[in-house]
Amino acid sequence: MNKASSIIQIENLHAAYGRSEALAGITLKIGKNQRWAIVGPNGAGKSTLIKIMAGLLKPSSGSVLLNGCDIRQYSSRKRAHVISYMPQKPDGLIPYTVYDFVMLGRYSLMGLMGVPSKEDREVVAEAIEICDIHHLENRIMSTLSGGELQRALLAGAVAQSAPVLLLDEPTTFLDPAHERLFFDALCRLDVKRELTTVMITHDINSALYQCSHIAALKDGQLLYGGSTGEFKKGCPELLEQIFGTRFMQFNCSELSAEAYGSWGMKCLQ
């Protein structure tokens, strides 16, 4: 992939917490309109990486280039025009209705008076439609179930209309039904817009069948960064190297194959 086709370039990225190195020389290129999964064991550096990409943390050294420009040169307002970030869970209880929360995603694009325009209202309506949360518009965010909350958070990120979407473990607390609804919303979003998505996930099978590319981290190092197709060819040995435990391939039922393809991976304790 050449520089012209890359929307995000991560170059020799290092990060540390005190004397503990969280990232050790990560180099990765992410192309436009790709959907990446970041996988790896706990403490591998996944959240640190995505927060640096979002501009929320500063690296010790190295850089993240967005459209060829170092992310550190972007103001927070300008950064919000190009990157939307969905945290694993919001800080504290959110005292907004779902509609008002999604409208907050437009804040960086509003004029000085902060009054929503017709375009803002149309974009919010589209985000709510994509995430299938019409019936939740007037609910207070803090009253939502886990699955409802994740789709409302996604709608808020979608409303920013940014070309890059960063998701920190968006399906961790979801049951299979709500996880499917979440990925359905992402698929509808892909149809509506040209979007580059990067998500952290612990669900290996979702990564294999919902994402076009995979970045695998272990101990702050990048063990793999490329297409999901090539990653599958290295399974289960590659997964065993990443997670330090055995995996086996299993065949899916016809129903499961609709979501996950004809086979999947299972961790052996």
Q: What is the 3-state secondary structure (H, E, C) of the chain?
A: CCHHHEEEEEEEEEEEECCEEEEEEEEEEEECCCEEEEECCCCCCHHHHHHHHCCCCCCCEEEEEECCEEHHHCCHHHHHHHEEEECCCCCCCCCCEHHHHHHHCCHHHCCCCCCCCHHHHHHHHHHHHHCCCHHHCCCEHHHCCHHHHHHHHHHHHHCCCCCEEEECCCCCCCCHHHHHHHHHHHHHHHHHCCCEEEEECCCHHHHHHHCCEEEEEECCEEEEEEEHHHHHHCCCHHHHHHHCCEEEEEECCHHHHHHHCCEEEEEEC
- Please tell me the distance from the alpha carbon of residue 26 to that of residue 221, in angstroms, as a whole number: 6
Structure confidence at residue 4 (pLDDT): 42
- Please tell me the distance from the alpha carbon of residue 160 to that of residue 67, in angstroms, as a whole number: 18
Structure confidence at residue 265 (pLDDT): 65
- Please tell me the distance from the alpha carbon of residue 37 to that of residue 35, in angstroms, as a whole number: 7
Nearest partner of 186 among 169, 207, 200, 165, judged by Cα: 165
Q: Both tokens of residue 49?
A: 């990486």
Which CATH code for domain 6-82+162-261?
3.40.50.300
Structure confidence at residue 267 (pLDDT): 62
- Please tell me the distance from the alpha carbon of residue 83 to that of residue 62, in angstroms, as a whole number: 19
Structure confidence at residue 246 (pLDDT): 85
Return the axis-axis angle of helices 146-158 and 176-192, rounded to nearest 10°. Answer: 10
- Decide if 42 contacts 243 (C-beta within 8 A): no
- CATH 3.40.50.300 residue ranges of the chain are 6-82+162-261
Stated pTM of the model: 0.88
| pLDDT, one tens digit for every residue, the chain (269 residues) | 344 478 999 999 999 988 889 999 999 999 999 999 999 999 999 999 999 999 999 999 999 999 899 999 998 888 988 999 998 877 766 789 999 999 999 988 776 667 888 999 999 999 999 999 999 999 999 999 988 999 999 999 999 999 999 999 998 878 888 888 889 999 888 888 889 999 999 989 889 989 999 999 999 999 999 999 999 988 889 999 999 888 887 766 544 444 445 556 666 55
At which residue do the structure tokens 């209309």 appear? Answer: 161
